[in-house]
Amino acid sequence: MFKVAVIGASGLLGRALVNELAQQTRWHVVATAFSRPGPDTVALDIRDAQAVDQFVEREAPQALVIAAAERRPDVCEHDPALARALNVDAVRTLAAAARRRGAWTLSISTDYVFDGAHPPYRHDSAPAPLNAYGRSKLEGERALTEATDLGCVLRLPLLYGPIVNWAESAVTSLVPAIAGSASLNGKTAVMDAWAIRYPTFTPDVALVIRQMLERHARGETIRGIVQWSGDEPMTKYEIAVRLAEALRLDAHLRPQSTPADATPRPHNCHLASRQLEALGIGRRTPFDTAIRQVLAAFPWQGGTDA
């Protein structure tokens, strides 16, 4: 069996990856969590360098996937020290510990390392983050490459997938406002129609990561920076319209055509995925299909027949 440590296994992407690997007996998964530890996870604070070293030494994984991060732009903007601790320093600590054991490290990064002015972005396009989140993730990429020569960065855009609460993804976080706008005496929900995003389904990303792990297991290790993205451009307003359709709600939505976020966001950070596509890696589930799966598994107000 091939031993993989999934760091941040209780999160949106971490859960999808654990589920993907659990479908094959070849993988021995050691899952860690901090905020939501469970019976099948190891409690680990990745900000504790000694605890990280002890974990990696004890478990001796052959590969380590870092899915833990502070990914909320507004939180990063107001608490850059926390963003650095999780997105930079912890990545360095984990990658260095893995390198000492000869383990490959895959670290998850973001399309927010770019300013969104000149898409699509290749893996070697010049980064220019606009906010503290993007800056911390870019520093995290550099921390990985400084700590190990046996590592890879996987940049991803806006993620959605099976959730434990609406707020877990910026996609599903729109549902309460959509439902409220459709209720009796509900107020019109104003949705951003300026920033273009590429919603990407976490089970698809989990498959990408499994395929990357398979290549490493057979001695075809991927190093450097790679990217994966959904291929359907949408604003939050357009996402909301499709969510309302999936929920069969007569929602009252109004597009906001100028940036309204307190924390600056890039306009269009479309990530080119050609490197992984050329290796035969990847899958893209259509948004309307995937979001219906998500909504069916996490019904609102007693359920949906969408």
Residue-range domains of the chain with CATH: 2-160+199-227 (3.40.50.720)
What pLDDT is attached to residue 300? 63
Percentage with pLDDT > 90 across the chain = 86
What pLDDT is attached to residue 305? 39
Is the pLDDT at 145 greater than 60? The verdict is: yes
Reported as a pLDDT band with limits 50, 70 and 90, residue 304 is very low
Tokens standing for 9?
Answer: 């296994």
Question: Pick from 23, 30, 24, 25: which is nearest to 8 by CA?
Answer: 30
* Model pLDDT for residues 251-289, shown as the tens digit of each residue: 999 999 988 777 889 999 999 999 999 999 999 999 999
Contact between 55 and 32 (Cβ < 8 Å):
yes
Reported as a pLDDT band with limits 50, 70 and 90, residue 242 is very high
Cα-to-chain-centroid distance, residue 285 = 16
Query: Cα–Cα distance between 149 and 102 in angstroms, integer?
Result: 10
- Mean pLDDT for 102-110 is 97
Angle 238-244-248 from CA coordinates, rounded to 5°: 150
Number of CB atoms found within 10 A of residue 80's CB: 16
- Mean pLDDT for 132-161 is 96
- In angstroms, the Cα distances linking 261 to 110, 147, 176, 180, 285 are 18, 35, 18, 21, 29
Question: Pick from 55, 64, 67, 53: which is nearest to 8 by CA?
Answer: 67
State the pairing for strand pair 42-43/159-160.
unpaired
Is the pLDDT at 303 greater than 50? The verdict is: no
What pLDDT is attached to residue 302? 39
